[in-house]
Every structure is written in structure tokens, then in C-alpha cells.
Structure 1
Amino acid sequence: ALDEDEINLAIVNEIKGNPSRITFYSNKGEVLITVLISVTTTNERLNISPSKLKIVSEVQKLNCLSDILGFELVDKAEENYINITNGYDDLVAKINFINKFGDKTDFQINIKKILDNNDRE
């Protein structure tokens, strides 16, 4: 668990202008988790209330994002949540954003791989 006053940092690496990796660091400089990604972007307004955001996750290894991001991990939600799903042949998970109206946005983060300490450069 993180200290209450701990602030985390996410570094997004890109290849040719496209996000390819997100590494989350603690304020002590420790790597908390690294994920290899691709992103489906959109120009639409997300209509998400960050102060009320929750996380619903089917992927145990990504449940730590709740602590890292400071959002409550819940079993289900109707609106304003991050939905982490599994069951894809070529992906570990998909992260979708459900807005404050209960609608899925077009913005999606595709998790290709979760790196552990042996995989990191």
C-alpha cells in the first residue's frame, strides 16, 4: 500500500508519436508497474469527473492501478469509471473509460504486456 502523502508519476513513452509504454513511478523513484500499450484516441470530450472516478477490473495484475491512481476499486459501477477487461487473444487487457452519463467513450488503452522486473530495461 502507498503512503497517504505519496504522489506517483506516470511516464508515457512514444514511438512515432504514438504512446507505446506507460511506466508508473512512486515519489521515491521506484517503478510500480510498466505496461506496453497501444491507444485508440478520439477528439470527443470524455465527460469524466476525476474526483468521482472508480476502477472496475477483471485483470488481477492491474488492480494495483487503483492504489497508484488513487481511485477506488469496485466490483461494478454504472457511470464514471475505468473498466479494465480481459479475454482478448492478442492483448492482456483493454482499458475503457465510461463517462458520467454511463456511456463508453472511444478512448481506449490496449495493454499488450505487463512488464515485471526481469523485463525492464
Structure 2
Amino acid sequence: MLLTTSRKPSQRTRSFCQRLKKAMGCPYINRGKMNIQEILQKTIEHKESTLAIVSEKHGNPSKVTFYNTRGEEIGYMTISVAIPKNLKTRPTKKIKGPIENIRLLKGLIPFEEGAGWDFWLVKPAHGKYNMIMELYHEKKPTGFKIFIKRIHLED
């Protein structure tokens, strides 16, 4: 998965992308003035199969839209985030939690089921969020959380 932002991102959105890059071990590119076709070309050059574009609302990350290398939207997540200042972790794509939630997320993000010392824990949520993804480092929470309001997969 190649990660980038929408045009003219806020500092908070750039920080979120940098932390997500570090946490997942995926490449991140600064968008600059690149259009979608140029970004898709970078996705292919990085040998990635998915492009994730982080959009914002009022300066905060609010949506991640996923595309395949043909430029077709494969789905999106509407989100809110908690970003720790000092993130201590190693890159991981390990995930654990309720199977129905993991299945939805794996439709968008190349996660591997199971857990080790570092992993993402998916928990059901209440209220305006459907689930919460929290990053763990050495089996301890890091404070890096993605609150997921909605996941939509294209048919």
C-alpha cells in the first residue's frame, strides 16, 4: 500500500501519515502537485498494489480512500485519529480482533492475521464509531488509534 494525502494537507494530516507509515512499514510520498495518474505511477514503481489517499476535514484526517493500480476506487474508511507525539514501534501488518472486523479491513489494507510483540488490535466501539484500531508495541498500547466510523467496499 502506498500512502499519500489529498492536496494541501494540514500538519496534523501529514503527521498522521508519517506515523501510519512508521507503524505499517508502507511507503509514503508527499503529494505536492501530483495528479492521481502520477501518484498511481508511483504506486506501480514502488511495486505496491494499493494506493491510499488520506483526506481531511477542518485540518484533521477524516477519510482514507483506497484505489487499485488501474485507478479504480476499491473502498474507503471514514475515520478520526489519536496521534501520539513519540511513537515507539516497529512496522507491523499483524492484526487481531473480531473476525468480521478483520475481514472488512483486509478488503482495504494488506493485513496479516495473528499477533506477535507488535500488532494492531481491532475492538468494537459504541456511539458514532463502529470499531477502533489501536497499535500495540511489545504487547503494550502505543496511544496510536484510528477510530473507524464507516468502512465501504466497492462491489
> Where in structure 2 are there 5+ consecutive unaligned residues?
1-46
Match of 1:27 among 69, 78, 81: 69
How much has 1:59 moved relative to structure 2? 5.8
Q: Which has the higher contact order (CA 8 A, sep 6+)?
A: 1
How much has 1:7 moved relative to structure 2? 1.5
Alignment of 1:87-102 (within 5 A): 87-99=125-137, 101-102=138-139
How many angstroms apart in 2 are the aligned matches of 1:10 and 1:49? Answer: 17
Q: Identity rate of aligned residues, in percent?
A: 28
Q: What letter corresponds to residue 90 of structure 2 in structure 1? A: I
Q: What letter corresponds to residue 90 of structure 1 in structure 2? A: K
Q: What letter corresponds to residue 85 of structure 1 in structure 2? A: K
Deviates more, 1:27-36 or 1:9-18: 27-36
Alignment of 1:19-58 (within 5 A): 19-50=61-92, 53-58=93-98
1:110 aligns with 2:150: no
How much has 1:65 moved relative to structure 2? 3.2
TM-score by length of 1: 0.74
How many angstroms apart in 1 are the aligned matches of 2:99 and 2:81? Answer: 18
Task: Spell out, residue by residue over 1:62-109, the C-alpha distance to the aligned partner (whole angstroms, 9 max, x if none).
Answer: 5243364333123xx24211111114232110010011x111111111
How much has 1:48 moved relative to structure 2? 2.1
How many angstroms apart in 2 are the aligned matches of 1:60 and 1:113? Answer: 14
> Where in structure 1 are there 5+ consecutive unaligned residues?
none
Q: 1:91 to 1:44 in 2, by over 3 A?
A: same
Displaced runs of 4+ in structure 1, greater than 6 A? none
Whose helix fraction is larger, Structure 1's or Structure 2's?
2
Residue correspondences, number = 109
How many angstroms apart in 2 are the aligned matches of 1:24 and 1:115? Answer: 10
Alignment of 1:6-21 (within 5 A): 7-21=49-63
Task: Spell out, residue by residue over 1:5-25, the C-alpha distance to the aligned partner (whole angstroms, 9 max, x if none).
Answer: 751111100012200001111
CA contact (8 A) 2:125 2:132 kept: no
